[in-house]
Amino acid sequence: MKRARFPFVKSLDEFELKGQNVLTARQLTQLRELSWLEQQYNLILLGPPGIGKTYIAIGLGLEAVHRGFNVYFVTMGELVQLLKTEEYLNKSKVQLKRLRSADLVIIDDLMYMAMDQREANLFFHLINHLYERSSIILTSNKSPDEWGNLIGDQGITTAILDRLLHHVEVIHGGENEESHRMKNRKSIFSAEV
């Protein structure tokens, strides 16, 4: 569990299926069986912020840990920093060694920020290394057809997508879905005047 580096621990048992359009109960049950992980399939969870993509990814990661799989969670921002500093920071080398040996790698908030040429190259080499060795769960609020604009190099984008989409299940969250955070937000001010 410690090596997985989850930012929070919430199981899929706590995921509120009612009032969301990301997963049906049947889809959630099938994902929890982890046959996709055993077959080294990738999952891409797409949709606007706040609909539960990260929650689902972590829940599936927890299921995998409980069944003996090696899992590694990282945000895209953290991953880019690790890749850029691997050559000269021992901490980055250690983290990336763990990531590369994981059965399941969860990359959260993919394509939240644009990449320069070097970052795109480093990311491609990582995806290429993981290809058919590990399963990857990606969460993103951008669809794969928008990734080229953020990666900046159509050739690298195509190569990344080719490897990610070879064995993949793409799950689309509703575009008009209201953020779970906004639905359940609390105010410090009372409604009474």
Asked if pLDDT for residue 71 goes beyond 60, the answer is: yes
Q: Structural domain boundaries of the chain?
A: 18-176
Question: How far is residue 80's CA from residue 71's CA, in Å, rounded to a whole number?
Answer: 18
How many angstroms separate the CA atoms of 128 and 122, rounded?
A: 10
pLDDT at 185 over 60: no
Q: Are 57 and 137 in contact (CB under 8 A)?
A: yes
**Structural element, H or E, at residue 99:** helix 90-101
Overall average pLDDT of the 38-67 stretch: 93
Q: How confident is the model at residue 179 (pLDDT cuts 50, 70, 90)?
A: very low
Amino acid found at 20: Q
Any idea which architecture 18-176 has in CATH? 3-Layer(aba) Sandwich (3.40)
Q: Amino acid identity, residue 112?
A: Y
Cβ contacts of residue 183 below 8 Å, gap of 6+? Answer: 19
Q: Which tokens sit at 59?
A: 């829940």
- Residue pair 151/157 in contact by the 8 Å Cβ criterion: yes
Q: What is the mean pLDDT of residues 39-59?
A: 92
Segment 165-190 shows an average pLDDT of 62
| pLDDT at 31 exceeding the cut of 50 | yes
Phi-psi region of 83 (alpha: psi -120 to 50; beta: other; left: phi over 0): alpha
Confidence of residue 73 (pLDDT cuts 50, 70, 90): very high
For 116-155, the pLDDT digits (tens) are 889 999 999 999 999 999 999 999 998 888 887 778 778 8
- Please give the pLDDT value at position 187: 46
Per-residue pLDDT of 91-123, as tens digits, reads 999 999 999 999 999 999 987 778 888 999 999
The length of the chain is 193
